[in-house]
Chains A and B, each alone.
Chain A
């Protein structure tokens, strides 16, 4: 492209955000003591157990690890009386080798495990005991800016329009097993009620910091309880300040509504595996205002507007955007984004 053409068009100076991402490598974090049940190259289906997470890890000092034992390896042996709970007699146990000092090993053992099921189908790429499992998910994903809660899976359901706000009273057990697309924002009370009603996850454009803190505190209490419910996840598509779901993203969500999808935390994304659904490429000239007073509005690109003076005496590179049928308005390029 020549310099003159670049100046006339300038669309490449607007930050581009991928509408769909593929492939998606999903990381599941592990802690020392967790028992990984898959190996590199394994193909897994949704619901397949990836690992057993240890809920009550403790350290024990043992002798007699097999030769060639390495940190992260598994250990099976017998622990002395009183070392596991209140038992009076020696008991067999399994654990993870932590490190060797002299001729003795420190091992991580525990009694209570919980299974971590895979929320997606895919192929295991890496397994690092005590660190994590990397899985290449089949299908495509919509990226977000944050994920809260756990990885989860459910039927995607559109609960409201892109600028809607889901209220607690609107959630009932009829939504159990579903992942709800709830519009522009949601509060902590709605999230905790949704979890209690058996909803598997929420997709929302923005989540204010206060609601995030309140929900995380509730989630921590839930995790600490003896009986844990089904995994519940929240995918935040944009940020903290209210704005509607972008129309290109909403179009994809509407296209895949009714399918089973997964929410994963690392990277924060919604993953769906339905190759037959064709997602049309977004209009390259369609612009979304990402930040600033017009955040959330969308319109058509009208070209570069040069350096313009904006509020508080700032001079910023600007672009023209035609929103609805209004005359083009000059906005800072830094506040704009496009999907590609």
Chain B
């Protein structure tokens, strides 16, 4: 934003969901006044009209103070990020072994990857793969230096991709690693509109990051919501001076980002990965997607019926959100989160974040405690964290503010409204299921409460949003909770789900049989999701 408005609309126009909010300056600071979310097919102006009308109906004096009149929708600035359909990148190399690291980098840059190697595909099959109109860009790579298994194929491979570049002049081509030395062969083609880029081979971590950034630039413009969330999560970590992790699941993909605040004059660090398969229905292989969904579903549906429900969810992501549709949606969100976590094993080795933020349209209609359960079902990491939800979908729009100072100022103003507190989670590792394992004493402002702890389930301690407390844990045997020990005193904050002491196994082991698995998942869900029986 370059002007100095009294109020503006924050818009996250995703592939399936349009989220809109009114942010206005009141009492010398920015405040979140209203927010809502609708399917992306609905006109943005109609959504904004509704928001303004709600604001006027709810508090006319505030509406007048911020100028929320008839002309607001046309006149107010819009801070918008816009999602686009996930692109498909054909990744080809001379040998099957050489394709894997390029494909892995592309996968974590948010591309859907169509891999191919000269070892596995003949030139006709590879040409067919590359000229497919569903392919949005091509990466042709070779190791630096090329391996012995790659060298004999490089001439043919370069000639084949150059021929494809002639057939499809609009197709961006990325020459990665040693293939970059053949750029002249492509530059001579002429009459091409598609970009020609060079990128390193993903050998060292810095090269992998450079390749991934180049591929992200190619796929997503600056106003991409996930790129923007990476920015805002860094700002949030700085403002809170805490380690923050965001788990975002949308219709077309998922984002995992881990931000460390700056310290000692050094800037903060944000690690990120965007995974297309981690969308709500993002797994393209239908059988795998059905398996993933059935693994987390609490609904007694057979495989065919589940496939049909999944297909409907893909066709109309916002349809059937209530009743058992909500259960199905949350099972799909868990499945997507599992794919996101599986695609980012390196994040698991990092220290537990102080704050975990759930974001994205997948969580849009779920109650807070249900979101908490879904996150801790999947992200099994011993330690203590606070959970929050990006309820107004503001992380994207705020991250699109280019000036870091301005972004920081707005985030600081909105810090109490930006995230809905879901609760605190304490997850010890090393417990033996079914046994009493110790107790927790909660020292809160309104008094002290004590709870015996039995391994194998989730203990809930009431702690409303806005309250803080000290939870004093005393275990019979040593457990891992950040460090290894028997006595821990942990600062916890309240939320919609209160304090969740997760005494289940880390990692979680569930029965293979679907009926038994469903029963266990449903029993955990019943404790945290009132009315979650559909």
List the interface of chain A (C-beta within 8 A of B): 1-4, 6-7, 10, 12-13, 15-16, 27, 29, 31-33, 57-59, 70-72, 98-101, 106, 108, 128-132, 145, 208-210, 239-241, 290-293, 295, 304, 310-317, 332-335
- Rounded to whole angstroms, the CA-CA distance of A295 and B47 in the bound complex is 24
- Rounded to whole angstroms, the CA-CA distance of A145 and B38 in the bound complex is 21
Residues in A with CB closer than 8 Å to B534 are 311-312
A70 touches B166 (CB 8 A): yes
B533 within 8 Å of A (CB atoms): yes
B167 touches A312 (CB 8 A): no
Chain B 124-159 interface 0/1 with A at a Cβ cutoff of 8 Å (1 = within):
100110010100000000000000000000011001
- Rounded to whole angstroms, the CA-CA distance of A15 and B16 in the bound complex is 12
B475 within 8 Å of A (CB atoms): no
Most buried by B among A10, A99, A293, A332: A99
Residues in A with CB closer than 8 Å to B155 are 101
Given A101-B156, A131-B167, A310 and B38 contact (CB-CB distance below 8 Å): no
A106 touches B42 (CB 8 A): no
Q: How many residues of B contact A (CB 8 A)?
A: 64
Given A32-B128, A98-B124, A131 and B46 contact (CB-CB distance below 8 Å): no
Shortest distance in angstroms between A217's beta carbon and chain B's nearest beta carbon?
A: 14
B309 touches A241 (CB 8 A): yes
Given A290-B316, A312-B531, A313-B532, A71 and B164 contact (CB-CB distance below 8 Å): yes
A32's partner among B131, B159, B308, B327 (CB-CB below 8 A) is: B131
A and B contact pairs by CB, cutoff 8 A, 11 listed: A3-B70, A7-B54, A13-B42, A31-B128, A98-B124, A98-B160, A101-B155, A239-B312, A291-B320, A292-B319, A313-B532
B163 touches A99 (CB 8 A): yes
B123 within 8 Å of A (CB atoms): yes
Residues in B with CB closer than 8 Å to A100 are 159, 163
B324 touches A311 (CB 8 A): yes
- Rounded to whole angstroms, the CA-CA distance of A151 and B89 in the bound complex is 28
Shortest distance in angstroms between B299's beta carbon and chain A's nearest beta carbon?
A: 11
Which 4 A-B pairs have CB atoms at the shortest separation, nearest pair first?
A311-B323, A291-B319, A310-B322, A99-B163
B326's partner among A29, A208, A312 (CB-CB below 8 A) is: A312
B304 within 8 Å of A (CB atoms): yes
B529 within 8 Å of A (CB atoms): yes
A2 touches B42 (CB 8 A): no
B38 touches A292 (CB 8 A): no
- Rounded to whole angstroms, the CA-CA distance of A31 and B132 in the bound complex is 9
A311 touches B322 (CB 8 A): yes
- Rounded to whole angstroms, the CA-CA distance of A16 and B38 in the bound complex is 13
A311 touches B304 (CB 8 A): no
Chain B 300-312 interface 0/1 with A at a Cβ cutoff of 8 Å (1 = within):
0000100111011
Residues in A with CB closer than 8 Å to B52 are 3
B73 within 8 Å of A (CB atoms): yes
Nearest B-chain residue to A335, judged by Cβ:
B319
Residues in B with CB closer than 8 Å to A99 are 123, 127, 159-160, 162-163
A130's partner among B127, B156, B309 (CB-CB below 8 A) is: B127
Given A131-B167, A239-B315, A313 and B54 contact (CB-CB distance below 8 Å): no
Given contacts A59-B123, A313-B531, 16 further A-B contacts (CB under 8 A): A16-B41, A29-B133, A32-B128, A33-B124, A100-B163, A108-B124, A130-B128, A209-B307, A239-B308, A291-B320, A312-B529, A314-B365, A315-B365, A333-B38, A334-B38, A335-B319
Most buried by A among B52, B163, B304, B322: B322
- Rounded to whole angstroms, the CA-CA distance of A15 and B17 in the bound complex is 12
Residues in B with CB closer than 8 Å to A316 are 321-322, 365
List the interface of chain B (C-beta within 8 A of A): 36, 38-39, 41-43, 46-47, 49-50, 52-54, 56-57, 70, 72-73, 122-124, 127-128, 131, 133, 155-156, 159-160, 162-164, 166-168, 286, 304, 307-309, 311-312, 315-316, 318-327, 365-367, 370, 529-534
Residues in B with CB closer than 8 Å to A292 are 319-320, 322-323, 325
B38 touches A6 (CB 8 A): no
B311 touches A71 (CB 8 A): no
A71 touches B166 (CB 8 A): yes
Residues in A with CB closer than 8 Å to B325 are 291-292, 312
- Rounded to whole angstroms, the CA-CA distance of A277 and B166 in the bound complex is 45
B46 touches A15 (CB 8 A): no
Residues in A with CB closer than 8 Å to B163 are 71, 98-100
Residues in A with CB closer than 8 Å to B43 are 12
- Rounded to whole angstroms, the CA-CA distance of A142 and B122 in the bound complex is 40
Residues in B with CB closer than 8 Å to A71 are 163-164, 166-167
B168's partner among A2, A7, A10, A131 (CB-CB below 8 A) is: A131
A332 touches B322 (CB 8 A): yes
A312's partner among B36, B72, B162, B324 (CB-CB below 8 A) is: B324
Nearest A-chain residue to B55, judged by Cβ:
A3
Nearest B-chain residue to A209, judged by Cβ:
B307
Residues in B with CB closer than 8 Å to A209 are 286, 304, 307-308, 311
B49 touches A3 (CB 8 A): yes
- Rounded to whole angstroms, the CA-CA distance of A106 and B533 in the bound complex is 62
Given A13-B38, A317-B38, A7 and B162 contact (CB-CB distance below 8 Å): no
B49 touches A312 (CB 8 A): no
Nearest A-chain residue to B369, judged by Cβ:
A313
Residues in B with CB closer than 8 Å to A27 are 133
- Rounded to whole angstroms, the CA-CA distance of A295 and B309 in the bound complex is 13
B166's partner among A4, A72, A290 (CB-CB below 8 A) is: A72
Shortest distance in angstroms between B308's beta carbon and chain A's nearest beta carbon?
A: 4
- Rounded to whole angstroms, the CA-CA distance of A157 and B316 in the bound complex is 29
A311 touches B50 (CB 8 A): no
Given A290-B319, A312-B322, A312-B323, A334 and B39 contact (CB-CB distance below 8 Å): yes
- Rounded to whole angstroms, the CA-CA distance of A239 and B164 in the bound complex is 36
A293 touches B323 (CB 8 A): yes
Nearest B-chain residue to A310, judged by Cβ:
B322
A3 touches B73 (CB 8 A): yes
A2 touches B166 (CB 8 A): no
B323's partner among A129, A241, A310 (CB-CB below 8 A) is: A310
- Rounded to whole angstroms, the CA-CA distance of A292 and B42 in the bound complex is 19
Nearest B-chain residue to A14, judged by Cβ:
B42
Shortest distance in angstroms between A172's beta carbon and chain B's nearest beta carbon?
A: 29
Nearest A-chain residue to B317, judged by Cβ:
A334
Residues in A with CB closer than 8 Å to B321 are 310, 314, 316, 332, 334-335
A15 touches B70 (CB 8 A): no
B532 touches A312 (CB 8 A): yes
Residues in B with CB closer than 8 Å to A334 are 38-39, 318-319, 321
Residues in B with CB closer than 8 Å to A304 are 50
- Rounded to whole angstroms, the CA-CA distance of A72 and B127 in the bound complex is 11
- Rounded to whole angstroms, the CA-CA distance of A13 and B36 in the bound complex is 12
Residues in A with CB closer than 8 Å to B326 are 311-314
Nearest A-chain residue to B308, judged by Cβ:
A240
Given A101-B159, A316-B365, A130 and B131 contact (CB-CB distance below 8 Å): yes
Nearest B-chain residue to A292, judged by Cβ:
B320
- Rounded to whole angstroms, the CA-CA distance of A130 and B39 in the bound complex is 37
- Rounded to whole angstroms, the CA-CA distance of A129 and B127 in the bound complex is 12
Nearest B-chain residue to A17, judged by Cβ:
B41
Shortest distance in angstroms between B331's beta carbon and chain A's nearest beta carbon?
A: 12
- Rounded to whole angstroms, the CA-CA distance of A334 and B318 in the bound complex is 6
- Rounded to whole angstroms, the CA-CA distance of A322 and B326 in the bound complex is 25
B57 touches A13 (CB 8 A): no
Residues in A with CB closer than 8 Å to B531 are 311-313
Shortest distance in angstroms between B19's beta carbon and chain A's nearest beta carbon?
A: 13
B167 touches A129 (CB 8 A): yes
Shortest distance in angstroms between A291's beta carbon and chain B's nearest beta carbon?
A: 3
